[in-house]
Amino acid sequence: MCQNNALDLLATCPEGYAGHCEGCGHYTVAFKNAMLLFSVDDLLFSDNVLKNRQGMWRVDKALPQGKTWVLAPPDNNLFLAFTSAEFGLISDCCTEDRLLVEARRIVRRAA
């Protein structure tokens, strides 16, 4: 994400947002205190991962703050933990973001 360019917000939820940086072309997904940057292909793939719960597992005993879902992104040393409600919020936000990205692609092709 460029520091000098405005972020185009594509989707928001109570705990975060998804946006696009026109300067560098990256997509940003921010949720609580985590901010992840994606290329368009990685963003579309991550929405599929969340939708199908790939690379995720549910823990038997809740982690602190009631976190029961763990997501293992491609980074080996990073794990993200969510409550079921948080998981629903970030999943919905990413789906909304994906739909807007796909709609923009269709409009660009038609122009």
How far is CA 42 from each of CA 47, 50, 57, 76, rounded to the nearest angstrom?
A: 9, 12, 21, 17
- The 10s digit of each residue's pLDDT in 28-85 is 888 888 888 888 888 778 777 777 887 788 888 988 889 998 887 766 778 888 898 9
Question: What's the rounded Cα separation, in Å, for the pair 29 and 35?
Answer: 6
Domains in the chain: boundaries: 7-110
pTM above threshold 0.85: no
